[in-house]
Amino acid sequence: MWVFEETLADGSLLTKTINERHENTKYLPGYSIPENVIADPCLRSTVADADLLVFVLPHQFLRTISRQITGVLKPGARAISLIKGLDTQGNDIRLITDVIRETCLPAPASPGAEVVPMSVSALSGANVAHEVAAGQFCETTIGYHHTTSLSEALVWKALFNTPVFRVSCVPDLAGVELCGALKNVVALAAGFSDGMNQGGNTKAAVMRIGLLEIRDFAARFYRGIRHETFFESCGMADLITSCVGGRNWKVAREHAATGQDLASLEQTMLNGQKLQGILTAEEVYNFLSARGLLHSYPLFTAVHRICIGEIKASDMLKHI
């Protein structure tokens, strides 16, 4: 496994610590990593012989790493993305799996042969990392491209499925990815609702309206979307975990309850890290605005307008 090398507080290297202690002491302390998993700081050597590539990284680094590995990958290698987010270029929204497919190219099968892009799937679900690491029962969804066969997904299912990490496969790659990214916007809305001291009825309504906007957005702009996907772990279940906890929900709740602006809350509550939901809400807003479709997504629109201070969180319900 490639690990971005860091020097820890005690002066040791992160990869060395992982390989000696079989624990990621910085990012997931307290949980052991199997001994057959080796942390390697060299990206190219890690990926060169891999048949199966699992992408797990903050999506803003994706294009940097793709530049390093393209042409090094084995012909016939496949990839799966565990990244939750979207890639934007101007007012356009791209799926992370599309970016991987286009920018992480295998070597040609023989010198001069055509380069065949990788098959890329996605995994998303109600999978809070430390609960998964603790072995608590959960489900997840693997989305594979609607034009490929189930056998593509079954390779990944064989790799990930366990009795306490239950995998379902759906031929709806875009649906699975969009759920993972857009649920953060809905989590902000749920946080605003809770911060306003609205009860369970209102919060459930906000979550439901949010899920329908995710579904509508997916069906309008992507191919192969299936309604069934939104009943999977990547859909309603991930939405639930994100809206009853998680960073987006928590910071949004604090904003609505105290009136402190979101940027300051990112400073105090997240040490300056940016909230994924705020970024995604802006990307979706720009995308919809450029197409004259803001009115069809009142909740997404209201969340962005609250994030930029254009309307108050307490007015959200008037706008959805």
As a whole number of angstroms, the distance between CA 318 and CA 181 comes to 25
Cα radius of gyration (the chain): 20
Question: Which pairs from 41-48 meet CB under 8 Å and 24+ separation?
Answer: 41/2, 41/3, 41/4, 41/5, 41/13, 41/15, 42/2, 43/2, 43/68, 43/69, 44/68, 44/69, 44/72, 46/1, 46/2, 47/2, 47/72, 47/73, 48/72, 48/73, 48/74
Q: Compare residues 201 and 271 and give the one whose CB is closer to a copy of itself.
A: 201
Stretch that binds a copy of itself, among 40-48, 91-99, 128-136, 142-150 (CB under 8 A): 128-136
Binding pattern to a copy of itself, positions 163-182, x when CB under 8 A?
Answer: -x-x----------------
Q: Compare residues 99 and 187 and give the one whose CB is closer to a copy of itself.
A: 187
CB of 212 to a copy of itself, least distance (A): 7
Q: Which of 23, 98, 139, 216 binds a copy of itself (CB under 8 A)?
A: 139
As a whole number of angstroms, the distance between CA 185 and CA 111 comes to 46
Task: State the Cα angle at 156 between 153 and 162, rounded to 5°.
Answer: 120
User: Is 137 annotated as belonging to a binding site?
Assistant: no
Stretch that binds a copy of itself, among 34-42, 131-139, 151-159, 271-279 (CB under 8 A): 131-139
Which one is catalytic: 157, 183, 203, 250? Answer: 183
Indicate if the alpha-carbon torsion angle 255, 283, 208, 80 is positive or negative: negative
Q: Compare residues 17 and 233 and give the one whose CB is closer to a copy of itself.
A: 233
Which residues from 192-211 bind a copy of itself, rule CB under 8 A?
198-205, 207-209, 211
Binding residues: 4, 61, 84, 129, 247-248, 274, 276
Residues that bind a copy of itself (CB under 8 A): 126-128, 131-132, 134, 136-139, 164, 166, 198-205, 207-209, 211-212, 215, 227-228, 230-233, 236-238, 240-241, 244-245, 317
